[in-house]
Each structure stands twice: as structure tokens, then as C-alpha cells.
Amino acid sequence: MMRYWTAGESHGKALIALVDGFPAGVELDTAAIDAELRRRQGGYGRGGRQRIETDAVDVLSGVWQNRTLGSPIALQVVNRDYKLERLGDLERPRPGHGDLTGAIKFLGSIRGVLERASARETTVRVAAGALAKQLLREFGITAFGYVVELGGVAIPPREGAHSERLAWREASSIYSLDAARDAEIEKLIDETGKAGDTLGGIVEVRVDGLPIGLGTHTQWDLKLDGRIAQAVMAVQAIKGVEIGLGFEAARRRGSQVHDPIRFDESQRSSTALGYVRPTNNAGGLEAGITNGQPLIVRAAKKPISTLRKPLDSINLGTKLPEAAAYERSDVCAVSAASVIVENVVAFEVARALTDKFGNDSLVEMQARWNLYHEMARQR
């Protein structure tokens, strides 16, 4: 099974991702991983830490002559701002962070919790996802994330070819698909920052080129929608996940929700095998199985919990009321969340791909992919 774990503290020596079960024979492109890491560091409204760090991946294992070996791949990103041993504890837990719950649960310090709870950890989740994308690329599958709402302001995604959408996102300082809205959003972020407050938002990920048949209906923990929801919900500060219409589906009648099925002989050679759908309200998943339509996932990110104008809290020692602690933070990291969610979704899709086509070697996966599509066209 393809899976990964991460290790590392926000101000520790380094962050590590250990990717296990990644197939052999995939050409490694570390520059592409670094480009994702750089994107994660960007977006208007980020804090001072990103001026200190220049995140870059070091591949410590699992690769020979620039190709994966099928053995565990250890990815490392070193923290320039390594200072953990010099940092003291906090006494005033920040509402919304793990400070209070973690310190009580582990009968220990706030520092020991916040260092691991910090979204800095997402650096190596992005590295693992960017690696997974290199497997997806071999099958023509792309994952693409963008911001669709920030601070309550909707920025509807524009429809276009993949290359157009890439260019639109590239042009936007907040990674939306409509740079014409940037100035308005930047102003909102500036004003919020001046007020000592923070902003959340909604990001969307679109995966194109999927075959019919990734994931399965047969067991709850293997359903691809469930796996994606877990991976996305487990990103720091994410409070909601939707697939396709999501919550809106609950408000409509069945006839206005489900995507009619048609067959178009001329599209038989596509990954959707000619089964075309005039709408994609299901967001590419039916019964936990991909249906050949683009996968559409949305995630709601709450505003960062470290506030320069802190909320009421208590002193853990005295239990008396005091303002929550403030440590350097970002006003808005919704753009970064679009990169993180894109990459964690990419990993789950790659995992489902290996569940279906095997995870020993790329060549075997490709042969099985071709055989499956040949057989499915006969169905």
C-alpha cells in the first residue's frame, strides 16, 4: 500500500516525509517538488517566517540514477529557523490552536504541542504530494488547486483549458483564477492585518484525466471520497470538505443533483470510455469510485488562530484571565492551503491508482492500465 508519514517540529532541525510503497521506475523531478514548496510559501498575506525559509527538498533514500526503486523514499526539508532548543514555553493558550487540548492531553508544555500542530508540517505533505504527482503525470492525470473564496468574498473559478487555468492562477497574488479581483482581496487582507485579525477561505481542487474505477464501494475505509475527506480534513485549520455539489446537494431534488448518463461512441478512446455526463454534480465520484469525470474537492479553512490582537484566554499556571499569547503569524494562508489541499488530494489519487494497478513498478502499472481499459471498452 502506498502511504506516508511525516515527522518534525516547526522550529526543529528539519521536517521529514517517509513515503512507502511508491512504485519503481518513476523519474524523479526534484525541481518540480521545489516549485510546489515555493508555491506553498507564497500567496498574499503570509507572515515573516516565509522570508526566512527557502524550502527545498533533499531526497534521502529510495532513488537510484534519478529513478525510484520501489523502496521507501525519505524526503527532508531543513528548517533555517531552527531554534527549538532556545525557545521557552507559553502560558496563555491560543483559542483555536492545539495549545490547551494538547498540553492537558500530554500533561506537558504548550510548546511541545504547538511545534507539531503548526501548519509548518504541511511543507512535507506538499513534498509527498508533489512526488505522487510525478506518478500521476505518467498516466496523464493532473491535480490543480485554487482559491474560490477569501474572507467571505467569492471568486468564482473561470472555465478554461488546463493551460489557461494554470496561467490565470499564476497571475493571481492569492492563487485564484481571476487576478482582476486581487487588488480588492489584498486590500481586505491589509485591513484585517492592521486590525490584528486573520482571514480564512475556501479552496477547490480539480483532478483531470482520471479513469473510471479508482476507489471501491466494497468497504467503508476504501471509498475514495472517504479517503480524500480524511486527507483534506487532516490539513491544519480545515473545518469542512465538499465533493462536487457538496452541501448544496442536500437542498436540491434528486433530478437536479444526479448527472444523466449518455454514451458518445466518438469518445470511446477517452479515459471516461465514451460515458459522457452533461453535468458533474457528483464531482467525479459515485459510490466511492471515480466515474471518469473531473474530481472536484472543496475545503473550508478557518482563519489562523494566532491573533496579533489576542482573544481572551487564561494563564495555565494561575487560571486567571489573561489575553492569549501572540507569536509571529500570518494574516491569511488560504493561498497556501490551495497548494496543500491540491497535493494531499494528489497523494490519495495516486494511492488509489496503485491500489487498482499495483505498486511494484511503473511499467507493470502501465501494462495493467492498458489491459484494463481494453477490457472495460468491451463491457
Rule CB under 6 A: which residues touch ligand EPS?
10, 47, 49, 81, 97, 118-120, 123, 304, 306, 327-330, 333
Task: Please tell me the distance from the alpha carbon of residue 70 to that of residue 359, in angstroms, as a whole number.
Answer: 8
Residue 295 buriedness (CB in 10 A; 0-12 / 13-18 / 19+): buried
Residue pair 62/22 in contact (Cβ under 8 Å)? The answer is yes
CB of 102 to ligand EPS, least distance (A): 12
CB of 115 to ligand EPS, least distance (A): 9
Cell of 314: 487564561
Task: Please tell me the distance from the alpha carbon of residue 4 to that of residue 57, in angstroms, as a whole number.
Answer: 16
Q: Which is nearer to ligand EPS, 48 or 156 (CB)?
A: 48
Residue pair 32/127 in contact (Cβ under 8 Å)? The answer is no
Task: Please tell me the distance from the alpha carbon of residue 88 to that of residue 109, in angstroms, as a whole number.
Answer: 10
CB of 111 to ligand EPS, least distance (A): 12
Residue pair 351/339 in contact (Cβ under 8 Å)? The answer is no
Residue pair 186/332 in contact (Cβ under 8 Å)? The answer is no
Which residues, other chains included, contact 366 with Cβ-Cβ below 8 Å and sequence gap of 6+?
Answer: 138, 139
Q: Which is nearer to ligand EPS, 30 or 118 (CB)?
A: 118
Q: Which is nearer to ligand EPS, 6 or 118 (CB)?
A: 118
Task: Please tell me the distance from the alpha carbon of residue 147 to that of residue 164, in angstroms, as a whole number.
Answer: 16
Q: Which is nearer to ligand EPS, 49 or 351 (CB)?
A: 49
Q: Would residue 289 be called left, alpha or beta, if left means φ above 0 and alpha means ψ between -120 and 50 degrees? A: beta
Q: Which is nearer to ligand EPS, 327 or 364 (CB)?
A: 327
CB of 213 to ligand EPS, least distance (A): 35
The amino acid occupying position 103 is A
CB of 83 to ligand EPS, least distance (A): 9
CB of 304 to ligand EPS, least distance (A): 5
Q: Which is nearer to ligand EPS, 145 or 294 (CB)?
A: 145
Phi, psi of 212 (to 5 degrees): -75, 130
Residue pair 19/61 in contact (Cβ under 8 Å)? The answer is no
Q: Which is nearer to ligand EPS, 325 or 333 (CB)?
A: 333
CB of 333 to ligand EPS, least distance (A): 6
